[in-house]
């Protein structure tokens, strides 16, 4: 892959979990094409003693939510989760060649025990779960992302965002007529799945499927908590209004149903009055009783 060039432009290859906001990534910025950024985002629970402080901040800033560990949102998918925070672990490394002029091979190895970043076969960084600080382990986290991820190849403009413009090399230049183009090229992508718990079994094996289901269930619970925590006074009023509207419509409907039943029953049980109907036969008039 060769990255794009120019201030403010970021080329990235990453593993991403959009629901959790977690990722493992390589990033090339327009600040220096001979440097590459490695990073991983990890979502962890907020300790119980921090909940009250978080609630106070949320109450004071109803329309503003900031991840405690993030200085900026950057390009990756950003989701709000109740009682959790997203931790960033960014490092910058030197490259032997200009990433915009040479095709380089970027490799990410990820297991439940470690993450390793390599460029052209040279290992730049390795992170082990066993080296996770106690402060993170105490939250119940394993120290590394363990949820299912998707592969993303991106090129994005960070130059227009004040908090990341300098990080990305400055304001993006699109030219006087906005005709400047920025291009990144990828020759090929190779994906090999390996699971330390599955051994040589094809992936995903039984254990991996079980953990994927657990992760999916956890994601749904977190999304539900996020939606519940984001409902303000207006949302409550709207819910109450909708409840009464539904209740009123149901009352009207069942009123008509009951009236129909009563009227139908009255019609069926009403006694019919006998009538006298004259019948003429052979010059004589007789009276026929009918009921």
* 3-state secondary structure (DSSP) of residue 206: helix
CATH number (domain holding residue 92): 2.60.120
Dump pLDDT digits (tens) for 15-36.
Answer: 999 888 999 999 999 889 999 9
Residue 37 lies in a domain: yes
Task: Locate 121 and state its tokens.
Answer: 């076969």
Task: Report the 10 Å Cβ neighbour count for 221.
Answer: 12
C-beta of residue 28 within 8 angstroms of C-beta of residue 99: yes
Q: How many domains does the chain have?
A: 1
Low-confidence stretches of the chain (pLDDT < 70) are 48-82, 195-203, 229-241, 265-291
Position 207 in a domain:
no
Q: What is the per-residue pLDDT for 79?
A: 46
How many CA atoms lie less than 13 Å away from 22 in the CB half-sphere?
Answer: 17
Q: Answer yes or no: is 50 within a domain.
A: yes
**Is the distance from CB of 132 to CB of 144 less than 8 angstroms?**
yes
- What are the backbone angles phi and psi of residue 35, rounded to the nearest 5°? -130, 150
Question: How high is the pLDDT of residue 202?
Answer: 66
d(Cα 174, Cα 224) in Å, to the nearest integer? 41
Residue-level pLDDT at 209: 80
Summarize pLDDT for 67-81 with one digit per residue, the tens: 333 344 444 444 455
Q: pTM for this one?
A: 0.60
What's the CA gap between 87 and 74, in Å, rounded? Answer: 13
Is residue 36 assigned to a domain?
yes
What integer pLDDT is reported at residue 108 of this predicted model?
Answer: 96
Residue keyed to tokens 């730049």: 124
Q: Write down the H helix ranges in the chain.
A: 48-60, 134-137, 162-165, 206-229, 233-269
Is 17 a domain residue? yes
- Asked if 2 and 184 count as a contact pair (C-beta separation under 8 A), the reply is yes
Asked if residue 104 belongs to a domain, the reply is: yes
Structural domain for 18, as ranges: 9-195
pLDDT at 77: 45
pLDDT of residue 96: 93
Q: Is residue 227 part of a domain?
A: no
DSSP 55: H
Are 112 and 211 a contacting pair, CB within 8 Å? no
Q: Which residues pair with 276 in a beta bridge?
A: 289
Q: How confident is the model at residue 257, as a pLDDT?
A: 75
């Amino acid at each position: 892959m060769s990255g794009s060039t120019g201030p403010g432009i970021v080329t990235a290859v990453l593993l991403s979990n959009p629901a959790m906001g977690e990722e493992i990534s390589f990033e090339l910025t327009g600040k220096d094409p001979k440097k590459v950024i490695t990073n991983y985002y990890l979502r962890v629970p907020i300790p119980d003693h921090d909940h009250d402080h978080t609630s106070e901040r949320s109450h004071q800033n109803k329309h503003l939510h900031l991840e405690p560990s993030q200085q900026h949102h950057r390009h990756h998918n950003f989701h709000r989760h109740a009682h959790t925070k997203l931790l960033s672990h960014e490092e910058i490394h030197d490259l032997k060649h200009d990433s915009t002029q040479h095709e380089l091979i970027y490799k990410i190895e990820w297991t439940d025990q470690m993450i390793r970043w390599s460029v052209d076969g040279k290992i730049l960084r390795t992170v082990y779960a066993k080296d996770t600080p106690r402060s993170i382990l105490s939250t119940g986290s394993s120290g590394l992302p363990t949820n299912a991820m998707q592969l993303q190849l991106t090129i994005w403009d960070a130059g227009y965002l004040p908090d990341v413009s300098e990080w990305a090399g400055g304001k993006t230049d699109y030219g006087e007529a906005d005709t400047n183009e920025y291009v990144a090229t990828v020759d090929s992508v190779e994906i090999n799945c390996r699971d330390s718990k599955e051994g040589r079994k094809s992936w995903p094996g039984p254990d991996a499927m079980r953990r994927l289901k657990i992760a999916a269930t956890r994601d749904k619970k977190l999304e539900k908590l996020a939606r519940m925590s984001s409902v303000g006074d207006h949302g409550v009023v709207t819910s109450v209004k909708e409840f009464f509207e539904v209740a009123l419509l149901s009352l009207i409907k069942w009123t008509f149903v009951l009236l129909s039943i009563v009227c139908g029953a009255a019609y069926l049980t009403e006694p019919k009055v006998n009538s006298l109907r004259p019948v003429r036969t052979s010059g004589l008039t007789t009276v026929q009783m009918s009921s």
